[in-house]
Amino acid sequence: MKKIFKFSIMLLITTISCDKKKQTQVTTENIVSVTEKKIEINDLTYESLWNDVINEGEYDIVVGTYVKNRLGIANSALSMDGLSESVEVENHDNINPKSSITVSLWYKPISFRGNGNNYLVLKPYIENKAPFIQYSLAVTGNEYPNPKARGVFKFSLSIGGKYYSIKTTPDTWTPNKWYNITGTYDGKYMKLLIDGEVKNNRTIEGDLDIYNTNLFIGKHENNKFFTPGIYDDFRVYDRALTIEEVLEIVN
């Protein structure tokens, strides 16, 4: 009787051990499956790839030099000199999300001083006064004199006729390195992500303002200030992407 009892315990232990192994294997397989699954990102309303086409579309005027992009592919990004080169996109519905938005850009800065608020992407207000912008992504030069302001990325919106912005800490970027800069707003939360990591956020409730203005990349619309560097894959979505979706773009 003792022998049978001992064997039964050993058999039970073996069975439990095997079941645990099976559970572990199934769990691991599920993790691998989820990790390898590609996230589909919907609601893209506008995109400029700058793949060696002077007129990217019926709305774009492109002035710059086509160079290698972040993946090393020739003629697949746009280099702008910070003196006179830029992109202008004629105003149309696809660049005017109404209730929520994501603005995303790949940017490789060079060393420069700048004016303390150089625009990478600018959808301006109808006049050069408050609230100044409809939406924008901006950068400050790494050689800008004020140490508290230099090397910063910024995301700004006009909501309910008022100007709101969030920015990174100083010295966020270094020259000659690619960065993904993404700003999102879902009607309540405004976020700034660099390479998929949230660097700043704030709570603001209201409706996005829409102004009858063209969109500019690499300059202020009055032609006084241009922003040097290499630009790639500019996107506008009419909703706020999740962090997972932004990481999908980054990776």
pLDDT for the residue 223: 72
Question: What is the reported pTM?
Answer: 0.83
Higher pLDDT, 25 or 58: 58
Higher pLDDT, 33 or 88: 88
Q: Mean pLDDT over residues 139-148, rounded?
A: 97
Q: What residue segments make up the domains of the chain, in order of their start?
A: 1-37, 44-250
CATH code for the domain defined by 44-250? 2.60.120.200
Query: What digits encode the pLDDT tens for the residues 148-205?
Result: 999 999 999 999 999 999 999 999 999 999 999 999 999 999 999 999 999 999 999 9
- Could you give the C-alpha distances from 174 to 71, 110, 114, 171, in angstroms and in order? 19, 8, 15, 7
- Could you give the C-alpha distances from 45 to 42, 92, 93, 98, 158, in angstroms and in order? 9, 11, 9, 12, 19
| C-alpha span between 179 and 248 (Å, rounded) | 14
Q: What proportion of the chain, given as a percentage, has pLDDT over 90?
A: 76
Sign of the torsion formed by the C-alpha atoms of 235, 239, 243 and 247: negative
Q: Mean pLDDT over residues 196-221, rounded?
A: 96
pLDDT for the residue 37: 61
DSSP codes joined into one string, 53-82: -SS-STTEEEESEEE--TT--TT-EEEE-S
The DSSP symbol for 240 reads P
| C-alpha span between 72 and 77 (Å, rounded) | 10
Beta strand residue intervals within the chain, DSSP E = 44-48, 60-63, 65-67, 77-80, 86-89, 101-108, 118-124, 133-139, 153-159, 162-167, 179-185, 189-194, 197-203, 215-217, 229-237
Query: What digits encode the pLDDT tens for the residues 19-47?
Result: 444 443 433 333 333 345 678 899 999 99
- Residue-averaged pLDDT of the chain: 86
| CB 83, CB 59: distance < 8 Å | no
Q: Mean pLDDT over residues 204-228, rounded?
A: 94
pLDDT for the residue 38: 72
The DSSP symbol for 94 reads G
- Helix or strand or coil: residue 157? strand
